[in-house]
């Protein structure tokens, strides 16, 4: 695994945030993650006039991951329009879990934590694989 340059990852998240489409909430969000093979993927939030159809930055990031060759995420950070670290919502934690390597590290408002710490006892693809064996 590639070592994690958190400063560089935060900068990618900030650049992604600058592309956010947030005319309703005025709350732009950017996210960036490192993959197992050393690629960096990012995403930004995209709102919609039908509020429930908005996409979180993590959705864009996972789409970017899939489009750029897939793989598993090993490190993740997310920021608001002022560059402050954000904690992914529960829905987005589940989305990230689906695409994470075991032990993926997230930069959170209370320090660095693994995906398993921020989403304990999560159900995901590993459960389905074990069930289908």
Say whether 58 is catalytic: yes
Catalytic hit among 11, 47, 58, 98 = 58
Q: Report which of 78, 82, 81, 83 is spatially closest to residue 107, judged by C-alpha positions.
A: 78
Task: Classify residue 17 as exposed, middle or buried by CB count within 10 Å of its CB (0-12, 13-18, 19+).
Answer: buried
Sign of CA dihedral 44, 5, 36, 77: negative
Tokens 């006892």 correspond to 121
Separation CA 89–CA 27 (nearest Å): 14
Separation CA 72–CA 51 (nearest Å): 30
| φ, ψ dihedrals at 102, nearest 5° | -55, 135
The residues assigned a catalytic role are 58
């Amino acid at each position: 695994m590639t070592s994690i340059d958190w400063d560089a990852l935060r900068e990618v998240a900030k650049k992604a945030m600058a592309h956010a489409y947030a005319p309703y909430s005025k709350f732009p969000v950017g996210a960036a993650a490192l993959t197992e093979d050393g690629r960096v993927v990012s995403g930004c939030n995209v709102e919609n006039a039908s509020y429930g159809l908005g996409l979180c930055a993590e959705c864009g990031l996972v789409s970017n991951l899939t489009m750029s060759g897939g793989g598993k995420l090993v490190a993740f950070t997310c920021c608001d329009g002022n560059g402050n670290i954000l904690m992914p919502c529960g829905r987005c934690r589940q989305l990230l879990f689906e695409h994470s390597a075991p032990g993926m590290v997230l930069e959170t408002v209370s320090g660095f934590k693994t995906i398993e710490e921020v989403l304990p006892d999560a159900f995901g693809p590993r459960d389905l694989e074990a069930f289908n064996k």
